[in-house]
Amino acid sequence: MSPVSDPIARLGIASALVLVVAKVGGHLAMRFKQPSVLGELLGGILLGSLPLPLLVTLRDDPNMDLLARLGVLVLLFQVGLESTVRDILRVGIAAAAVAVLGTLGSLGAGWAAAALTLPHESAGLHWFLAASLTATSVGISARVLKDADASRTAEARTILGAAMIDDVLGLVVLAIASGAMRHSTEAGAFAPLAVAWLLTKTFGFLLVALVVGIVASPVLFRFASRLQSDGVLVATGLSFCFVMAWVSAAIGLAPIVGAFAAGLVLEDSHSGRFVARGERSLGEQMEPIGSWLVPIFFVLMGMRADLSAFASGPRLLLVASLTLAAIAGKLLCAAGAPRGSDRVAVALGMLPRGEVSLVFASLGLTLGLLDGGYYAVLVTVVVLTTLVTPAALRWRLSRRDASHAHHGAYS
């Protein structure tokens, strides 16, 4: 069999191309103090815009698509690993209020923008586009806070605490919005009872998954620690992730909801016996896997953005209205920020959209809920909100510092 016809050879060379683009794009983004994911996404958009037959087949290659979908599961598993149930319960009322207000604000503003811009489309599409705006990606905000030596401030604690709750809310909204839109497509109507059932099922799954996971996972990892073969910890963690993803899919929810829940219930203590015998923690061992699969997802997401859709004036208007809605919705977070903190800085820190919004867009495209044009619109909104955040947050922090210095001079 020649290398060209061998599917493994084609998958290998395609993976090599995508990974090179991802890493170069990530490097360039970080040089401009942007998150690497933005460089990976823009690299994919550039790659997809080149009129080469090889790239067209790569964009639609089913094997690369499977790798990208695995990358989504790994990504959400890693996002879950960065938080724990105890962390979420510990963040406080103010952080919870910021997360809830930002989610509701984005959902309401996004629906209004979609409904006004696309009056002839279905209510299901309006809600799905709005739901895609709810999840915050605060990696870039955390970087700006660190560069400004503000990582230990009340604003930083509130933003990072709200981000943990925001991840949970974003996944809940994703499960409900995708399920409701699928149901409205099949039934020809947007059924409130179906949405209520999806809401019940989603919260029920998360509650059962967290309770069972907290009880069963220590037993699972304690048993696994008795095995002496290499890679037992990461194999156990990934197996737990994939089983939870399968259960989530089996009851009609997105697999990523299960993957996120799996990461959320696992704590450092699960790796304790392995670390005690000289191994790295589960989070550290997941890094090489994530460094391979997750960039493939982001580059492919960029490649699938149909830039020709922006030749249409209505699509450009939709980008502008959804971007404004995404910003306005998160500015509502200011009302939940704790007293004594810079409420505007907290709201600006919640602006950027990222991983979960791209997962929304990808799921919508895969399920046929979005066409290429609406998908490109959501990708563009993610890029714009991510680009605007650093400048806006630095401006606000510099004003805060100047105000503190002014008051200090006259005190």
Within a domain: residue 115?
Answer: yes
Q: What is the pLDDT of residues 26-63, one digit of tens each?
A: 999 888 877 788 899 999 999 988 888 878 788 888 99
In a domain, 148, yes or no: yes
What is the pLDDT, as a whole number, of residue 268?
82
User: Is the pLDDT reported for residue 408 higher than 60?
Assistant: no
Residue 281 lies in a domain: yes
- Specify whether the CB–CB gap between 159 and 346 falls below 8 A: yes
Q: Is residue 21, in this structure, part of any structural domain at all?
A: no
Residue 380 covered by a domain: yes
Asked if residue 78 lies in contact with residue 291, where contact means CB atoms within 8 angstroms, the answer is no
* Count of the separate structural domains present in the chain: 1
What is the C-alpha to C-alpha distance for residues 250 and 153, in angstroms, rounded to an integer? 43
The structure tokens listed for 303 are: 């490649």
Tell me, yes or no, if the pTM score tops 0.85: no
What is the Cα–Cα distance from 112 to 318, expressed in whole angstroms? 11
pLDDT of residue 287: 93
Q: What is the mean pLDDT of the chain?
A: 84
Domain encompassing residue 247:
76-294+312-409
CATH code (residue 189): 1.20.1530.20
Residue 19 confidence class, pLDDT cut points 50, 70, 90: very high
Q: How far is CA 64 from CA 75, 137, 294, in A?
A: 16, 25, 12
H helix intervals, 251-281 = 255-265, 272-276
2 falls in which pLDDT band (50, 70, 90)? very low
If one compares 73 and 88, the residue with the highest pLDDT of the two is 73
Q: Is the pLDDT of residue 110 over 80?
A: yes
Q: Give domain status of residue 299, yes or no.
A: no
What φ, ψ does residue 405 adopt, rounded to 5°?
-65, -40
Q: Strand, helix or coil at 133?
A: coil
Rounded Cα distance, 90 and 357, in Å: 26
